[in-house]
Structure 1
Amino acid sequence: MSADITAGAGAGSSPDYARKALIGSTLGFAMDGFDLLILGFMLPAIATDLGLSPVQSGALVTWTLIGAVLGGILFGVLSDYYGRVRVLAWTILLFAVFTGLCALAQGFWDLLAYRFVAGLGLGGEFGIGMALATEAWSAEKRARASSYVALGWQGGVLLAALVTPLLLPLIGWRGMFAVGIAPAVVAFIVRRTLGEPEIFVARAKGPRQPLPLGLLVKDWETTKTSFAMFVLCAVQNFGYYGIMIWLPNYLSQRFGYSLTKSSLWTAVTILGMAAGIWGFGQLADRIGRRPSLILYQIGAAVSLVVYSQLTDASALLIGGAVMGFFVNGMMGGYGALLSECYPTAARATAQNVLFNLGRGVGGFGPLVIGILASQYSFALTIALLSGIYVLDMVVTVFLVPERRGEALT
């Protein structure tokens, strides 16, 4: 990876700038994964202290995600107007301040408000970070850059899984939220050490562009591309959230795994996802975005069906890693693909709007899987989940353009 960073600078960017842009973007997305996972860990303690009902506890997660969708749209547009670095710093700072305020919550409603506003900040980080990283890196290494940013989420999730069980008993849920103030330091460093990408500066010198949202549907070809990318992002999030929420339950109910054992098997699946993301970036820069997507989509569909038939503990461990590799590995290429499909005037908007709309649809994954599992079985439901990747393949073949190696416009 270090060699890639050294040689990865895009036109007008130094290797040092490319490296700093990548680090800042990756840290932003890591906070997204870290925050959502620690919230899940802390919900029982929060509910006990504040006397929350199960519905109220669930609402804290729901309104964080709603805030993320709205924040993605808002800050994506602002980033295309005012700059990647400036607005990325705003989103990190907003997230940090309101996460810290959660530590002072006295009841459901003020905590809900803090979570919603923190979600606004979280939602902006993915698309802005992806736009910043891909604009700073050269065309031949663009998919690798986006895969490294995507790995930030996995790093944040793994860090939360490791530190929350250790810190939560010591500092409580209020202390955990107080730790969330730390990203404000990241925002300060990003803002002080990074300038805007050269391609954005050059565009900013020209006449004011139309509303960025309008550029996502400016003509029939662009509209088809936007629809295709929305489907890909929706399937990505639907499969990810569906599997991650229900996998421990599946292992526990069908095979009687303890919480510790289920967590270990799930962690191996997460490591498989991280390997898949890294591999996708390497592959997409060598053979193209569309061939890589189709290969991973086939792998996802097949591995889900195979996994649903496994019963041996060792086979489940290996099968989970393989399934994770394909199901979430495609995340490594969306940043590059979206960057190449839209101009600089709408790049961050496209990243945030399409991904966060997909995340909104993907949020129904656990619900749909829960309903199907209650009617049939977890094994059959996991197998049926493979069908969404067949839809993915159809959309990729007929609607997704191939832009590997092309200069950004």
Structure 2
Amino acid sequence: MELQSKQNLFSGEDEATWKRRWKVMYASIAGYAMDGLDMLILSFVMTAIIKEFGLSFVDAGLIATYTLIGAVMGGYIFGIMADYIGRVKVFALTIILFSIFTGLCAIASSLTELNIYRFLAGLGLGGEFGIGMTLVAETWPAAKRARATAGVAIGWQLGAVLAAVLAAMVVPHFGWRGLFAIGVLPALFAAWARRGLPEPDIWVNRKIMKETVAKKLANNEELSDSEKEFWNKANKFPLAHLFANKRKSITTFALTVMTSVQNFGYYGIMIWLPTILMQKHNLSLNKTTTWMVVTVIGMVIGIYLFGQFADRVGRRPAYITFYICSAAAVWIYSILNDPIFLLIGGALLGFFCNGMMAGYGALLSEHYTTDARSTAQNFIFNSGRAVGGFAPVIIGMLAARYTLNGALVILAFMYVAAAVNVFFLVPETKDVTLD
């Protein structure tokens, strides 16, 4: 289709184009880092919150679950909004939203009030992931797409490290409330980093195409066959694209299984790991912070190498390999007792279980068109969060009956099932051109 005007900011290989790509990358990393900071703050103050409000493991787990329920709803709402009105505008809005309600957690006077603030903060958290990943996937070359989205995924781990450092510095002096109050400042910085970001070429040009066809229809002009086909597809409600036919529906289901396992594993491990270390192994908050930082370092290395692996050999081989290794890592970690082995095991656990985060931004982008890409990212990943949101409370229930370590063993079986899911149901999309 011939367009009167067309944006061409991200298709070249010149220095200016790469500067724009890196600016998008840095802004997306900053946003996802604040996502990680906000969520992981909770894991470092869970023990203090349990003590202040006199909570059971189940009630404590529900705090995280309410946050994730909000994230699911926010992901659905803001993902659709980003497909309609633009990625960048909605991106900034989500970060401002979760920063405000993270700060309000510091003045919560009851468990109910804290749960409400965590739910509202979750709305912003859920919207941020898919939009940031979509921005990077749509502006970086296909051959480097998994590595680029890996960069964004590392942002979460940077936020987790920042949460650990702030917990060690702030909690001993100002308590858990002080940590939530301090957490607002980095989030506001991330919102500021969004200034001046351009929308991706592919989204802008798609919008121009829609306006061109709409103008023809308004003037009662005849549309070509290609224009009719485009109009019928582009005018669908974004969510309908995910279930357009049987093959697409199966793919959407399979990808949702993958993100469900990812989120269940991550939140099940990271929300409760500090508690396991403090209660079973009698470690102080500072020593627990060391273990968590080492685990996160393992995650960063895993994410980086997964992105390289997925770009070189394909998405399917990368995921199947990491799922099988994750199953082994979780089982081995559950039986460790020696502090040194716990340290090394934590790094391996992070490497495999969260290294896979590198690929979702690319994988989810490659299965859907620009009309629904942000919706697909947020719907699929946050549907996975909906399942993963029950991990803290399920593991809390199992821990109350058995042990926290024993409760984590269930994850090993989930990772094996996820590998089978990828093998049979997920098509390969390496080097695919986005449309």
State the TM-score bracket (shorter-chain normalisation): 0.7 to 0.9
Would the aligned equivalents of 2:98 and 2:124 in 1 still touch at CA under 8 Å? Answer: yes
- Are 1:157 and 2:157 counterparts? no
SS of the residue corresponding to residue 344 of structure 1 reads: coil
Is residue 2:295 matched to residue 1:269? Answer: yes
Query: Secondary structure at the residue paired with 1:352?
Result: helix
Quote the Cα distance in structure 2 between the aligned partners of 1:40 and 1:63: 14
| Change in 2 beyond 3 A, CA 1:201/1:274 | same
Match of 1:199 among 197, 202, 208: 202
Q: Which moved more, 1:328-337 or 1:257-266?
A: 257-266
Q: What is the CA-CA distance between 1:35 and the residue it aligns to?
A: 1.1
* Paired position in structure 2 for 1:215: 241
Equivalent in the alignment of 2:321: 295
- Is the 1:25–1:133 contact (alpha carbons within 8 Å) kept by the matching residues of 2? yes
2:68 to 65, 69, 72: 65
Within 1, Cα distance between the matches of 2:99 and 2:139? 26
Partner AA of 1:186 in structure 2: A
Partners of 2:113 and 2:334 in 1: how far apart?
43
2:265 paired residue number = 239
- Which structure has the greater CA radius of gyration? 2
The residue aligned with 1:338 is: 364
Q: Which amino acid aligns with 1:199?
A: I
Query: More deviation in 62-71 or 127-136?
Result: 62-71
Whether contact under 8 Å (1:147, 1:277) holds in the other structure is: yes
Deviation of 1:350 (Å)? 0.9
User: Is it true that 1:366 corresponds to 2:392 in the alignment?
Assistant: yes
Q: In 2 relative to 1, CA 95–244 (structure 1 residues): closer, same or farther, beyond 3 Å?
A: closer
Give the secondary-structure state (helix, strand or coil) at the position aligned to 1:206. helix
Q: 1:275 to 1:98 in 2, by over 3 A?
A: same
Name the CA distance, whole Å, in 2 between partners of 1:196 and 1:23. 15
Residue identity in the other structure for 2:371: A
Aligned 8 A contact 1:216 1:222 in 2: yes
Q: 1:283 aligned to 300, 305, 309, which one?
A: 309
Judged with a 3 Å threshold, the aligned counterparts in structure 2 of structure 1 residues 399 and 340 are, in CA distance, closer, same or farther, namely same
**Residues 66 and 380 from structure 1, CA distance in 2 versus in 1: closer, same or farther, beyond 3 angstroms?**
closer
What is the match of residue 187 of structure 1? 191
Structure 1 Cα separation of the partners of residues 404 and 48 of structure 2: 29
Alpha carbons 2:35, 2:125 under 8 Å: kept: yes
Secondary structure of residue in 2 paired with 1:232: helix
TM-score, normalised relative to structure 2: 0.83
Q: Distance in 2 between matches of 1:404 and 1:353?
A: 22
1:224–1:399: 8 Å Cα contact kept in structure 2? yes
Give the Cα–Cα distance (whole angstroms) in 2 for the partners of residues 276 and 133 of structure 1.
Answer: 20
SS in 2 for 1:162: helix
Contact map agreement 1:10 1:139 (CA 8 A) in 2: no
Instruction: Answer yes or no: is the 8 Å Cα contact 2:72–2:382 preserved in 1.
Output: yes
Q: State which drifts further: 361-370 or 337-346.
A: 361-370
Contact map agreement 2:61 2:393 (CA 8 A) in 1:
no
The one-letter code of the counterpart of 1:11 is: S
Further displaced range: 265-274 or 136-145: 265-274
Contact 2:44 2:274 in 1 (8 A): no
Check 1:177–1:16 CA distance in 2 against 1; reply closer, same or farther (3 A cut): same
Of 195-204 and 116-125, more deviation after overlay is shown by 116-125
- Give yes or no for the alignment of 1:23 onto 2:26: yes
Q: Please name the residue that 1:225 is paired with.
A: 251
Aligned 8 A contact 1:52 1:108 in 2: no
The Cα offsets for residues 159-183 of structure 1, whole Å up to 9 and x where unpaired, read as 0110133134555555544441553
Is contact 2:10–2:20 with CA below 8 Å preserved after alignment?
A: no
Q: Distance in 2 between matches of 1:308 and 1:44?
A: 21
State the identity as a percent.
50
Q: What is the SS of the residue equivalent to 1:292? A: helix
- Residues 74-120 of structure 1 deviation map (CA, whole Å, 9 limit, x = unaligned): 00000000111111011112223333444555666655444332221
TM-score, normalised to structure 1's length?
0.88
Q: For residues 30 and 236 of structure 1, what CA distance do their matches in structure 2 show?
A: 18
Further displaced range: 340-349 or 91-100: 91-100
**Do the aligned partners of residues 94 and 401 (structure 1) sit closer, same or farther apart at CA in structure 2, a change above 3 Å counting?**
same
Equivalent residue for 1:78? 81
Cα 1:294–1:385, aligned 2, differ >3 Å: closer, same or farther?
Answer: same
Q: How far is 1:133 from its partner?
A: 0.8
Task: Give the structure 1 partner of residue 11 of structure 2.
Answer: 11
- Alpha-carbon distance in structure 2 between the residues aligned to 1:181 and 1:398: 45
Q: Does 1:128 align with 2:154?
A: no
Shift of 1:375: 4.9
Q: Secondary structure at the match of 1:386?
A: helix
* 1:349 to 2:375 alignment: yes
The alpha carbon displacement at 1:279 in A equals 1.0
Provide closer, same or farther for how the CA distance between residues 358 and 46 of structure 1 changes in structure 2, counting only shifts above 3 A. same
RMSD of aligned C-alpha atoms?
2.8
